């Protein structure tokens, strides 16, 4: 931990929610209700509830690339929790004037180095009176978020946590001056294959690289409109990551690739 995020906690009243709950069941709506019961003036933003079930890496990816667009003082609640009901801890992290609540399963790994404080939540104190072992989003995270949004001091959340669980991260591997091996991180709803290769890895020259998948050589272009309908292309997306897409189609379906697949990039 360092002092980069050591600003006094001043809540904005905004609460963001990120889960793998989907929107078919009432889970997300109930969380809204609990937050508003504890903080009626809160403004709740559903960042996403479409994280693949139990996919901590995707949850961390989305949160790390989204939080900074929110106002200082936002409470970010991230519930992707394969260990719900177990002895796993719940963490509260403060960084750059924002507060983050998530299970201690590595989801918040991207925030520890910049954190002003990392706390182990006192679950008994902040839970609803009747706490389910299977729905801590409703019974623990939501009431805690409401308290923070309403002005609770982070010092009251619980003891300091010196040993938060850190998620092991894979990344692109340089195979030589002109070759990089990357991995598919996720498939978005358009069927685009988002990789762990960042624009910086291409040394400021994206147009001089191609993605190599089997015998296919896929050019890196500036935008989708630089290719024709049905054509494969790669580009730097809005997250700053290189993705592979099919114009008006699904790259995941066309290439039969899924998260974890390797993709080689070559300087053309």
- DSSP for 163-229, please give it: ----------EEEETTEEEEEEEEE-TT--EEEEEEGGGGTT-GGGEEEEETTEEEEB-SSGGGS-T
Q: Are 201 and 119 in a shared domain? A: no
In tens, the pLDDT along 20-74 reads 999 999 999 999 999 999 999 999 999 999 999 999 999 999 999 999 999 999 9
pLDDT band at residue 176 under the 50/70/90 scheme: confident
Which residue range(s) make up the domain with 101? Answer: 14-156
CA distance 66 to 61: 9
The overall average pLDDT reported for the chain is 94
Q: Are 125 and 205 in a shared domain? A: no
Q: What is the pLDDT of residue 97?
A: 96
Q: Are 144 and 260 in a shared domain? A: no
Q: Are 39 and 64 in a shared domain? A: yes
CA distance 124 to 144: 11
- The residue from 105, 126, 156 where one domain ends is 156
Q: What is the pLDDT of residue 3?
A: 41
Q: Are 140 and 22 in a shared domain? A: yes
Number of domains in the chain: 2
Lowest-confidence pick of 110-119, 121-130, 146-155, 199-208: 199-208
Using the predicted structure, report yes or no on whether residue 1 has a pLDDT greater than 70: no
Higher local confidence (pLDDT), 194 or 2: 194
Q: Are 24 and 120 in a shared domain? A: yes
Q: Are 134 and 41 in a shared domain? A: yes
Whether residue 1 lies inside any domain: the answer is no
Prediction pTM value: 0.92
Q: What is the mean pLDDT of residues 145-160?
A: 97
- DSSP for 35-58, please give it: HHHH-TT-EEEEEES-SPTT-HHH
Whether residue 168 lies inside any domain: the answer is no
pLDDT band at residue 170 under the 50/70/90 scheme: confident
- The residue from 108, 125, 156 where one domain ends is 156
Planar angle of CA 24, 28, 33, nearest 5 degrees: 130
In tens, the pLDDT along 194-226 reads 999 999 898 878 889 999 999 999 999 999 999
Q: Are 114 and 146 in a shared domain? A: yes
Whether residue 211 lies inside any domain: the answer is yes
Q: Are 211 and 177 in a shared domain? A: yes
CATH number of the domain where residue 148 is located? 3.40.50.10790
């Amino acid at each position: 931990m360092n002092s980069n995020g050591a600003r006094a906690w001043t809540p904005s009243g905004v609460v963001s929610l990120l889960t793998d709950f989907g929107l078919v069941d009432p889970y997300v709506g109930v969380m809204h209700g609990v937050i508003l019961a504890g903080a009626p003036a809160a403004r709740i933003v559903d960042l996403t509830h479409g994280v693949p079930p139990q996919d901590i890496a995707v949850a961390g990816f989305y949160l790390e690339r989204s939080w900074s667009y929110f106002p200082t003082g936002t409470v970010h609640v991230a519930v992707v929790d394969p260990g719900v009901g177990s002895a796993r801890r719940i963490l509260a992290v403060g960084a750059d004037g924002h507060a983050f609540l998530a299970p201690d399963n590595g989801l918040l790994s991207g925030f520890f180095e910049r954190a002003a404080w990392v706390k182990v939540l006192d679950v008994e104190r902040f839970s609803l009176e009747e706490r389910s072992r299977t729905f801590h989003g409703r019974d623990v995270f939501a009431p805690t978020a409401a308290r923070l949004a309403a002005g609770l001091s982070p010092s009251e959340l619980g003891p300091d946590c010196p040993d938060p669980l850190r998620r092991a991260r894979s990344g692109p591997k340089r195979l030589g001056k002109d070759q990089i091996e990357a991995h598919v991180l996720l498939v978005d709803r358009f069927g685009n294959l988002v990789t762990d290769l960042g624009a910086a890895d291409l040394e400021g020259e994206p147009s001089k690289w191609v993605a190599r998948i089997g015998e296919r050589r896929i050019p890196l272009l500036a935008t989708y409109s630089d290719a024709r309908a049905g054509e494969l292309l790669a580009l730097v997306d809005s997250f700053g990551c290189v993705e592979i897409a099919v114009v008006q189609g699904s790259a995941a379906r066309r290439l039969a690739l899924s998260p974890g697949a390797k993709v080689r990039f070559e300087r053309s």
